[in-house]
Amino acid sequence: MEKTVQLYEGKAKKVFATEDPALCIVSYKDDATAFNGLKKGTIAGKGVVNNRMSNLLMQLLEKSGVPTHFVEELSDRDTLVKKVQIVPLEVIIRNVSAGSFAKHYGVEEGIVFDEPTIEFSYKNDELGDPLLNSYHALALKLATKEEVETIKKLAFKVNEVLTEYFKTLGIRLVDFKLEFGRLPDGTIVLADEISPDTCRLWDINTNEKLDKDRFRRDMGGVEDAYKEVFKRLMGE
């Protein structure tokens, strides 16, 4: 399958149409942004890591009963996916306090929760992705009640599968963001990406950060952190 016209260029990926209207090609860039685009940079090799990692995890999730947009990895940076209508919600699951949770509620990072939490933000760059709850999502007609229920169920399932999987790699899945989309028949599937850009991943023994926080917080070792996650995923 070949790229035809570019449909969209986002902060981390480009999306292209193909000859098949039901499919598109996502192309992963090395560009990195944080704080709603205020901080910009490049992480060499990130596009390759994020593309291959996302594809591997999406295939694992499919096997575990979570429907996804994944169709076929075309190259190191390009993947064929089912074209979806994105539900404009960022779905965030947390297992351990970190980032905005720690900041909002005035707690330290690293508190392990008894149960995972879920929260939504409205995917809207102009408004700065404001937090909202499921009632707000219904009021704004971002999704139906049934869709919100499906999304919650799938997001917790993703957490179960990925938490167990990352544990086998010596990685603690602290938190992550998911996006879901609608197929033409209305089926909700997992879309976008699952990568060190969208997850907090800590080494299980040392708590070393192996994710985009190294970029956000100018910690150094950003490329090496992405490479380390990739190495563990590839079983090296």
Q: Residue for token digits 């209207």?
A: 21
Subset of 126-145 contacting ligand UDP (CB under 6 A): 129
- Judged by CB under 6 A, does residue 13 bind ligand ADP? yes
Subset of 86-115 contacting ligand ADP (CB under 6 A): 86
Residue 80 phi/psi, 5-degree rounding, is: -85, 125
Between CA 191 and CA 195 the distance in angstroms is 12
Subset of 68-87 contacting ligand ADP (CB under 6 A): 69, 81-84, 86
Stretch that binds ligand ADP, among 11-19, 39-47, 91-99, 210-218 (CB under 6 A): 11-19
Q: Residue for token digits 């700065």?
A: 128
CB nearer to ligand ADP: pick between 66 and 81 = 81
Compute the least distance from the CB of residue 192 to ligand ADP, in Å: 4
Query: Beta-carbon neighbour count of residue 33 at 10 Å?
Result: 17
Q: At what angle do helices 145-168 and 46-63 cross, to 10 degrees?
A: 110
The 21-50 contact track toward ligand ADP, x by CB under 6 A, reads ---x--------------------------
Greatest pairwise CA separation for the chain in angstroms: 51
Between CA 2 and CA 36 the distance in angstroms is 32
- Judged by CB under 6 A, does residue 208 bind ligand UDP? no
Q: Residue 118 has which token pair?
A: 């879920």
Residue ranges binding ligand UDP (CB under 6 A)? 90, 92, 98-101, 129, 175-177, 198-200, 212
